[in-house]
């Protein structure tokens, strides 16, 4: 690794990578870490509660992933406009983000609020789990609008290298979420014990705080690139809208197909019962904690490489991407090893029956085995390839691997082979191997590099 960073230019690269990636890593570690704490708190209510909240949050996962698709598609332009120092166009693209994101949030809120029972029945037929999940969704559905706007400000702050304030706000919001969880889930300091409804209330209050704080702090600084007036955010013309949507639509479709597809996995897991759902939910929480570093690297690579492509410095963009891939390989091996060694200790913190705990331990071994190819796929699709505007290819890869490999394998493994959950996960994750090989070939073809703002 030291050979990568001998020259002053290499050190500048590493410094920039850390400056951009670290706040995102911190945001994700805090978010995922506190989500893990939430799951531990909810586990005190039993495995049915873990399953209910986990399944209910699949809808939130789909919503935020689609938002991620919207914002990351537009952020390709914002990163390149930032490289060209075109602040007027940044505000126009950001306005498109806000309009689409807020409209989507209203649609999701209404759908989830009025169809919450039907949504839960899609995943599982256990009446207890359905009832608990429905109670959770009734409250948390009101948080989607606040999440969409906050996410737009936080996400696009990464593309313009202004991450400290959103990171601080995110940290405070999640601490508030955890504290209110402690007050309301089991009832502390005289507050009522609301169970899963307490967890949903905590989420709603935290999202409202995050929204309010970000709006106040960003607009307090009138020179902030995202402190755009309504006029500035709506001054785009149809040519700009078409250009943004042409690049963003494949990203949106890709993220939608991926998030819905991985949620369909949970329908398959639902046939195995609440314990299997609890195992998968907790395994994802734990694995996501270790993956947080790559969420930061992926965002940093999209910004840094996108900036260089915007400056039309293609050679430097290629150099940056090569260095990022080497870092990804080394770091993924280290973290996969750490996950393998610590899996038993981490699993012991959850209030699970012995058989479920053993199943969780075996499932975490599967997550460890696929950790490196999974992280390579993420860095390529959400970072390197997208930074060059190669969104259509990423969309095709996501759709094909999830829907034509992962989903059929999940149902076949559960309904026909009747495998235990850890073997089902091992079969499903085979799509990550195929995906990582496919995107690696695309990378070496150099077809992914496109300067969008000069087209």
Q: What is the pLDDT of residues 4-53, one digit of tens each?
A: 556 667 778 888 888 888 877 887 777 776 667 777 788 888 889 988 99
Asked if 414 contacts 272 with a C-beta cutoff of 8 angstroms, the reply is yes
pLDDT for 400 equals: 93
Of 101, 94, 64, 69, the C-alpha closest to 79 is 94
Of 434, 361, 426, 429, the C-alpha closest to 396 is 434
Asked if 398 contacts 257 with a C-beta cutoff of 8 angstroms, the reply is yes
Q: Tell me the two tokens of residue 177.
A: 């979420």
Q: How far is CA 362 from CA 44, 286, 413, 423, in A?
A: 22, 13, 17, 9
pLDDT for 4 equals: 56
- List the helix and strand counts (H, then E) for the chain: 19, 0
Q: Tell me the two tokens of residue 419.
A: 């495998």
pLDDT for 10 equals: 72
**CA dist., res. 33 & res. 11, Å (int):** 30
pLDDT for 345 equals: 87
pLDDT tens, N- to C-terminus, the chain (455 residues): 555 556 667 778 888 888 888 877 887 777 776 667 777 788 888 889 988 998 898 898 899 889 988 887 788 788 778 877 888 888 998 999 899 999 999 999 999 999 999 999 999 999 999 999 999 999 999 999 999 999 999 888 877 878 788 888 988 988 898 899 999 998 999 999 999 999 999 999 999 999 999 999 999 988 888 888 889 888 888 888 888 888 788 878 888 888 899 899 999 999 998 899 989 988 988 888 888 889 889 888 888 888 888 777 788 888 889 999 999 999 999 999 999 999 888 888 787 888 889 999 999 999 999 999 999 999 998 888 888 878 888 889 989 999 999 999 999 999 999 999 999 999 999 999 999 999 999 988 888 877 766 55
pLDDT for 318 equals: 87
**Range 152-156 contact pairs with CB under 8 angstroms and sequence separation of 24 or more:** 152/67, 152/71, 152/94, 152/97, 152/98, 152/101, 153/214, 153/215, 153/218, 153/226, 154/27, 154/214, 155/68, 155/71, 155/72, 155/75, 156/71, 156/74, 156/75, 156/78, 156/94, 156/97, 156/226
* Per-residue buried b or exposed e for 289-299, using 16+ beta carbons within 10 Å of the residue's own CB: bbbbbbbbbbb
**CA dist., res. 65 & res. 306, Å (int):** 21
Asked if 16 contacts 81 with a C-beta cutoff of 8 angstroms, the reply is no
Query: Position of tokens 């000069």?
Result: 454
Query: Position of tokens 């995110």?
Result: 170
**CA dist., res. 336 & res. 375, Å (int):** 10
Asked if 283 contacts 356 with a C-beta cutoff of 8 angstroms, the reply is no
Q: Give the dihedral sign, CA 412/394/279/334.
A: positive
* Per-residue buried b or exposed e for 148-157, using 16+ beta carbons within 10 Å of the residue's own CB: bbbbbbbbbb
**CA dist., res. 187 & res. 97, Å (int):** 39
pLDDT for 455 equals: 54
Of 321, 328, 315, the C-alpha closest to 303 is 321
Residues 6+ apart with CB under 8 A from 364: 283, 286, 287, 339, 340, 343, 346, 347
* Per-residue buried b or exposed e for 86-100, using 16+ beta carbons within 10 Å of the residue's own CB: beebbbbbbbbbbeb
**CA dist., res. 200 & res. 107, Å (int):** 19
Query: Position of tokens 């873990």?
Result: 50
Q: Give the dihedral sign, CA 133/145/255/289.
A: negative
């Amino acid at each position: 690794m030291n050979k990568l960073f001998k020259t002053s230019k290499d050190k500048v690269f590493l410094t920039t990578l850390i400056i951009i990636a670290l706040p995102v890593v911190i945001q994700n570690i805090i978010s995922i870490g506190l989500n893990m704490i939430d799951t531990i708190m909810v586990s005190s209510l039993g495995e049915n509660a873990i399953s209910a909240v986990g399944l209910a949050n699949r809808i939130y996962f789909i919503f935020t992933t689609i938002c991620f698709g919207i914002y990351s598609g537009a952020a390709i332009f914002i990163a390149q406009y930032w490289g060209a120092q075109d602040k007027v166009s940044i505000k126009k693209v950001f306005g498109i983000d806000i309009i689409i994101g807020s409209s989507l949030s209203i649609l999701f809120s209404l759908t989830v609020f009025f169809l919450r029972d039907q949504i839960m029945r899609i995943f599982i037929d256990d009446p207890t789990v359905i009832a608990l999940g429905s109670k959770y969704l009734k409250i948390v559905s009101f948080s989607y609008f606040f999440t969409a706007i906050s996410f737009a400000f936080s996400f696009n702050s990464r593309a313009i290298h202004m991450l400290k304030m959103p990171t601080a706000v995110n940290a405070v919001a999640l601490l508030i979420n955890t504290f209110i969880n402690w007050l309301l889930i089991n009832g502390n300091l005289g507050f009522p014990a609301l169970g899963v409804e307490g967890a949903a209330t905590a989420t709603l209050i935290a999202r409202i705080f995050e929204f309010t704080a970000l709006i106040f702090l960003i607009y307090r600084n009138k020179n902030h690139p995202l402190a755009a007036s309504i006029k500035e955010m709506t001054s785009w013309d149809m040519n700009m809208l078409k250009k943004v949507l042409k690049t963003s639509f494949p990203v949106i479709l890709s993220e939608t197909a991926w998030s819905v597809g991985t949620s369909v996995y949970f329908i398959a897991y639902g046939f195995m019962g609440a314990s299997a759902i609890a195992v998968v939910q907790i395994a994802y929480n734990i694995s996501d904690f270790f993956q947080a570093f790559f969420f930061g690297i992926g965002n940093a690579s999209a910004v840094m490489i996108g900036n260089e492509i915007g400056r039309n410095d293609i050679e430097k963009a290629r150099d940056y991407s090569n260095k990022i891939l080497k870092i990804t390989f080394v770091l993924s091996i280290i973290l996969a090893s750490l996950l393998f060694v610590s899996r038993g200790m981490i699993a012991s913190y959850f209030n699970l029956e012995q058989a479920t705990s053993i199943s969780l331990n075996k499932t975490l071994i599967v997550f460890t085995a696929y950790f490196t190819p999974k992280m390579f796929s993420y860095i390529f699709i959400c970072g390197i390839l997208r930074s060059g505007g190669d969104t259509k290819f990423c969309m095709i890869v996501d759709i094909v691997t999830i829907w034509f490999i992962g989903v059929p394998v999940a149902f076949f493994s559960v309904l026909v082979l009747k495998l235990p959950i850890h073997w089902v996960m091992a079969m499903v994750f085979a799509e990550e191997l195929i995906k990582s090989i496919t995107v690696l070939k695309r990378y070496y073809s150099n077809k992914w590099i496109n300067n969008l703002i000069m087209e």
